[in-house]
Amino acid sequence: MTDNKQDQQEDKLVTNTTPASSSAEAKTEESTQAIQTEPPVSTPEKPVQEKQPSSGKGLATVAIVLAVVLAGGLYWHGHKQGENQATQIAAMETRLAEQQTALNALKSQQSATLGKLESAQQSVTEQVDGLSRKVLDLDSKRPNDWMLAEAEYLVRMAGRKLWLEHDAVSAAMMLANADERLAALNDPTLVPVRKALADDIASIKSVKKIDREGMVIKLNSINDQVDKLKLDGVIMSRAEEPDFTLSESVSDWKENLKKSWASFTDDFVTVRRRDGNVEALLSPQQHWYLSENLKGKLLQAQLAVYREQQEIYDSALAQSEQWLQDYFADDSVRQFMLEQIEQLKGQQISVNYPEQFTAQERLQQLLDNRLQRLLTGL
């Protein structure tokens, strides 16, 4: 608007200057004559104002265009940024809605699961209570069945003692305790079972008792004497001494001369001939190996006693006896060890145990029948 006002003022200025110039020309024509008579007088000319080019109008136009473009750019940028923010907000709202939906579904699932668990717990509690009442009822009705089960357990433990540990004494005691449980029941139907128990006890007591601990102690004492043994030295066969006895007969003068000469030369050079095998001496390292092998054989015999391995036991003792006789000196230590081994060689370490208890099967069958009747009654 400022530029328009300036343009209007410039237009007014131009229109105002035009009449002034025409009146000046008229006055100049009227006074031409007077000027001719009078001497010329120089008068200053009034400068005429020229119209300047309007540069401010162009700058204003450019400024307006730039302002419009800048305002449009700012508007477009703000509009796009607003659209992006609106899109992000919409995506976040969608994600939040999905998460809220999933959370609600999870809560519903947990609530349903919790309800099922509570229902199952209630059902289990009711079942436990019912079973507890039934157990109490059974305990009050059939208290003797527990003692019958104890008797069957004792019979099974007796079998383990006998067949796994070879402890016949403990097995017989357990069978006797089982018979006491059955006797306390005072039940005539248990007489066949008690008779079977008596037969099993008799079969165990008829088994030959072996003093395994005593045998192992003897073997251990023999083993302790090994380090005291001495190696046997080289035994040379005795050479035959020549007979230098002279005969009194004159006819034997040649023989007597030979004997006299042989007796005379025997003091200078002696040559003896020996018959028989001579074994070489053992080195200290071989002596140590021999002693350790002897200890190993005696230890093998001890293990065979506990495992009832008759063949291994006899073989170990025979080998130990042979080594003592072949390689060690004949002294009191070797004599003691040989005597102990000789006593142990005749011992029987294997025993024939009964393969099974007849009472165990009858007790198990009796328990199964009674349990079946109880379950049927429930």
Q: Give the chain's domain count.
A: 3
Q: Within this chain, do residues 313 and 225 fall inside the same structural domain, yes or no?
A: yes
- Number of alpha carbons in the 13 Å side-chain half-sphere of residue 333: 15
Chain centroid to CA 155: how far? 38
Q: Are residues 164 and 105 in the same domain?
A: no
Residue 32: its pLDDT value, please?
40
Residue 372 lies in a domain: yes
pLDDT at position 354: 86
Please say whether the beta carbons of 259 and 244 come within 8 A.
Answer: yes
* pLDDT at site 55: 67
Q: Same domain for 320 and 220?
A: yes
The mean pLDDT value of the chain amounts to 78
Contact 304, 218 (CB under 8 A): no
119 Cα distance to chain centroid: 39
Q: Is residue 335 part of a domain?
A: yes
189 and 162 in a single domain? The answer is yes
| Whether residue 337 sits in one domain with residue 228 | yes
Per-residue model confidence as pLDDT tens digits over 182-231 = 999 888 888 999 999 999 999 998 888 888 889 999 999 999 999 999 88
Domain encompassing residue 313: 210-232+283-351
- Alpha helices (runs of H) in 267-357, residue ranges in sequence order: 284-307, 310-327, 332-345
Residue 195 lies in a domain: yes
Quick: pLDDT tens for 254-307: 776 777 666 656 655 555 554 544 444 566 778 888 899 999 999 999 999 988
For CA atoms 365, 370, 376, 378, give the dihedral sign. negative
The whole-model pTM stands at: 0.43
If you average pLDDT over residues 103-113, what whole number do you get? 91
